[in-house]
Amino acid sequence: MPVAFVLVNTEIGAEGEVLKALKGIEEVEEAYAVYGVYDIVAKIKAETMDKLKEIVTWRIRRLDKVRSTLTMIVVEES
């Protein structure tokens, strides 16, 4: 199963709202508010790579108050 980590930048003060919305997406296994360049880190797991791309493109990136994302697709697990 494809896995990706998505780093999310939100509008100022919207971290909690976006975090709650992310946790409502079935394929989001984990999501955390973090300090640093990004506001949220989310772990996504999907059945296929196409489904993973669909989730990131159409569900996460289009959430209200999401300013930008950076997606890192896992190529090898330990």
Domain count, the chain: 1
pLDDT string in tens for the chain (78-residue length): 999 999 999 999 999 999 999 999 999 999 999 999 999 999 999 999 999 999 999 999 999 999 999 999 999 988
How confident is the model at residue 73, as a pLDDT? 97
- Tell me, yes or no, whether 7 lies in a domain: yes
- Tell me, yes or no, whether 21 lies in a domain: yes
User: CB–CB of 28/43 below 8 Å?
Assistant: yes
User: Where do the DSSP E strands lie in 1-78?
Assistant: 3-10, 28-33, 40-45, 66-73
Question: Which CATH number covers residue 34?
Answer: 3.30.70.920
> Rounded to two decimals, what is the model's pTM?
0.94
- Tell me, yes or no, whether 78 lies in a domain: no
- As separate numbers, helices (DSSP H) first and strands (DSSP E) second, the chain gives 2, 4
- Tell me, yes or no, whether 39 lies in a domain: yes
Domain that holds residue 60: 3-73
